[in-house]
Structure 1
Amino acid sequence: MRPLLCVLCLLGVMLAATASAEGRLRLVADNWPPFNDTGMPGGGLATSIVTTALARAGYASEYEEAPWARALMGVTEGRYDILINAWYNDARAQVGDFSKAYLNNRIRLLKRKGDSFRFKRQADLYPYSIAVVRDYAYSPEFDGDNHLNKVPVSSFSSAVRMLAAGRVDLTIEDEFVARYNLQREPEQVRDAVEFVDPPLGENTLHILVSLKHPAHRQIVERFERAIEAMKADGSYERLMRQHGF
């Protein structure tokens, strides 16, 4: 019995050490309704999906909102474990481990209503000023094109107000985010802008797990398996419907 007790004690110590090392995951995102917002049910669609998947993967978590630059820096430095609303780019892959996509985003240009601007290819944008949210990634092609005249701003609200006032020619945002936020803008702003067809492109939404976390690869793998299981059993689709998607 004594060797068996020793083995059981050793297993208990190992499990306790693993639980202590993993602990409660510290999640962060910027305020990005309808995907991330502490004032919305479940913290918004993306927050609901991520926290549900992590719980099913066996991880307790706590969620905090922070401005985008601070959230990304926090993951870089290891003060947060997971940025839950990241679009992929190479620079971010140097500081965190990306999961497979768990949501898709359609990226749309907006112009002033009545402007004659037409869009067929990215080169059509070169003569125009475009308000972009500072430190956001829109698409590799758009982000890396140095011919574009990008005007950095702090938020989509700032961008769309500049557009309505004629201070920039265009702005860009995820379609659902833009529609959600436009409903919260003054009528004179909301009625002054419109979407441009066709969409600029699509992006995929991922979690970004800090490389400072010793189990970053394991967290990503467990999260991905949980998302697959949620899609298989219908719980993913139920969360989408609950949030109006």
Structure 2
Amino acid sequence: MRKRCGFALFALLLASAGAAAETLRIAADVWPPFTDARLPGNGLAAELVSTALKRAGHRPEYVEVPWARALRGVQVGDYDLIVSAWYSDDRARYGLFSKPYLTNRILFLKRKGSAVDFQALADLKRYSIAVVRGYSYLPSFDADASLNKVPVKGFQMGARMLSAGRVQLTLEDELVARFYLSRELKGIRDQLVFLSRPLSENGLHILVRRSHPRHQQLVEAFDQAMQAMREDGTYQAIFARHGLAQP
């Protein structure tokens, strides 16, 4: 009798999910290994998010656009949610954040054998640091005009400058850096090492537009599905499928 009641409840939940199911336009920019249409599942973050949304009974439609367009699209209703967003008060005005489903650890890299170290921002003043133009790493770091920050077009350029001795540090999300160091930067991988202390750690969330009539329910269902994925091993299996170790 208890099994039959459980099945009936499960069927009712499925029927409810089906009634609320819809196609969701989920937006992201190119940010491997997290989001990139050239990667399996459109990237690690995109696959995690899409899997959770499908479990919640929805049909995610992945759209890859520049970051500024993704933010604007959620504000005007072109997209239903952004796949991978850090929290900010400004974004919270027009979007509802999920619980974090990943953590971005921003780490410095130095040349192997270098005595360069970092324990506090003041320690960085004597070093030259390659930073990606337009990136935000940490408000206090970004605003510190006393630091010798050398703007570059991307992490790849900063890593090559570091390898060549043109700067003493660069920095990037750990998984992003490892992605590039295992591919196009493979030739200099053994010349660089990570510093153990992160500059910052930021939770990665989905950001659902508040103009969506069921934005609260979407976020709650996503959070529940992501937790279930952690408990049943799906979360870990997606990491493994992308060749990445879970932090």
Q: CA deviation at 1:139?
A: 4.0
| Structure 1 residues 1-245: aligned runs within 5 Å | 23-139=22-138, 141-143=140-142, 145=144, 147-186=146-185, 189-244=188-243, 245=245
- Paired residue total: 227
Please give the alpha-carbon distance, in whole angstroms, between the structure 2 residues aligned to 1:155 and 1:95.
Answer: 29
Please give the alpha-carbon distance, in whole angstroms, between the structure 2 residues aligned to 1:134 and 1:74.
Answer: 23
The answer to whether the 8 A contact 2:106-2:173 is kept is yes
Aligned-pair Cα RMSD in Å: 2.8
Identify which range, 170-179 or 122-131, moves more after superposition: 122-131
Identify which range, 181-190 or 197-206, moves more after superposition: 181-190
The answer to whether the 8 A contact 2:180-2:186 is kept is no
Judged with a 3 Å threshold, the aligned counterparts in structure 2 of structure 1 residues 105 and 93 are, in CA distance, closer, same or farther, namely same
Please give the alpha-carbon distance, in whole angstroms, between the structure 1 residues aligned to 2:60 and 2:112.
Answer: 44
The answer to whether the 8 A contact 1:36-1:47 is kept is yes
Judged with a 3 Å threshold, the aligned counterparts in structure 2 of structure 1 residues 164 and 26 are, in CA distance, closer, same or farther, namely same
Please give the alpha-carbon distance, in whole angstroms, between the structure 1 residues aligned to 2:53 and 2:136.
Answer: 25
Q: CA deviation at 1:206?
A: 0.9
Aligned residue type for 1:90: D
Gaps of 5+ in 2: 1-15
Q: CA deviation at 1:104?
A: 2.0
Identify which range, 163-172 or 215-224, moves more after superposition: 163-172
Please give the alpha-carbon distance, in whole angstroms, between the structure 1 residues aligned to 2:192 and 2:236.
Answer: 32
The answer to whether the 8 A contact 1:89-1:137 is kept is no
> After superposition, what is the alpha-carbon deviation per residue over 1:105-148, rounded to whole angstroms, capped at 9, x for unaligned?
32210124444311111221234343333454434554565554
The answer to whether the 8 A contact 2:116-2:168 is kept is no
Please give the alpha-carbon distance, in whole angstroms, between the structure 1 residues aligned to 2:147 and 2:76.
Answer: 31
Judged with a 3 Å threshold, the aligned counterparts in structure 2 of structure 1 residues 151 and 87 are, in CA distance, closer, same or farther, namely farther
Give the 3-state SS of the residue equivalent to 1:126 in structure 2: helix
> After superposition, what is the alpha-carbon deviation per residue over 1:43-88, rounded to whole angstroms, capped at 9, x for unaligned?
1211111001011112211112223333333333332221111122
Q: CA deviation at 1:194?
A: 2.8
Please give the alpha-carbon distance, in whole angstroms, between the structure 2 residues aligned to 1:150 and 1:92.
Answer: 27
Identity across matched positions, percent: 55
Q: CA deviation at 1:152?
A: 4.6
Gaps of 5+ in 1: 1-14
Normalised by the length of structure 1, the TM-score is 0.77
The answer to whether the 8 A contact 2:102-2:205 is kept is yes
The answer to whether the 8 A contact 1:82-1:207 is kept is yes
Please give the alpha-carbon distance, in whole angstroms, between the structure 1 residues aligned to 2:121 and 2:169.
Answer: 13
